[in-house]
Structure 1
Amino acid sequence: MPLMMLKALWAKVWPYIALFTAALAAFFGIRQAGKAAGRQETRQEINEANAKAREKAREVDDKYDQMADDSVRDSARQWVRKP
């Protein structure tokens, strides 16, 4: 008799346990997907910033490559502290 009652109780509770487990799995799945998307977005922003920095450095190198040595020296003097 107690076994029948236990089976009946299990039959009534089982769907709720399955629903709770599925909801928990969905929550963690969505959370992980959001974290991965955030990491990808951050990686993309860093790559764009690095590309802009490389382009700016290339522009500066090109500018100084086109200048004469005296002009480069004069330009560099503004960055050197005078004693």
Structure 2
Amino acid sequence: MSNTIQLQQSVLQDVASLLDDNEAMKKLQKYLQRLKSERMAKEEMSAKEKEEILDDIRDGLRELKLTKQGKLKSRPVEELLNEL
């Protein structure tokens, strides 16, 4: 926790030292916007990936249920491995 506070203080001190330099502030602002955009894109991608994985699991469970009910024929493991 104290490391986080020290890091925050250091960052704020660095930013404070740039407050009088408009050019540096513009560059910092662009960089911060880019960081935020990258973080949001990464989070969105993760959510999409999680949803795809859950959909695949749901499909597999449906197939398993149908197989147990005798409504779907199972395949030999060798056939499945060859497909992969």
Q: TM-score range by the shorter chain?
A: 0.5 to 0.7
- The partner residue of 2:24 within 21, 24, 31 is 21
Alignment of 1:39 onto 2:53: no
Count of residues in Structure 1 that have an aligned counterpart in Structure 2 = 59
- Give the corresponding residue for 1:54: 57
Alignment of 1:30 onto 2:33: yes
d(CA) in 1 for partners of 2:66, 2:47 = 29
Structure 2: segments with no counterpart, 5+ residues: 1-19
Quote the offset at 1:76 in angstroms: 3.6
Larger Rg: 1
d(CA) in 2 for partners of 1:65, 1:47 = 27
RMSD (CA atoms): 2.3
- Give the corresponding residue for 1:3: none
Structure 1: segments with no counterpart, 5+ residues: 1-16
Higher relative contact order (CA 8 A, sep 6+): 1
Structure holding more helix per residue: 1
Aligned residue identity for 2:29: A
Quote the offset at 1:67 in angstroms: 1.2
Quote the offset at 1:61 in angstroms: 0.4
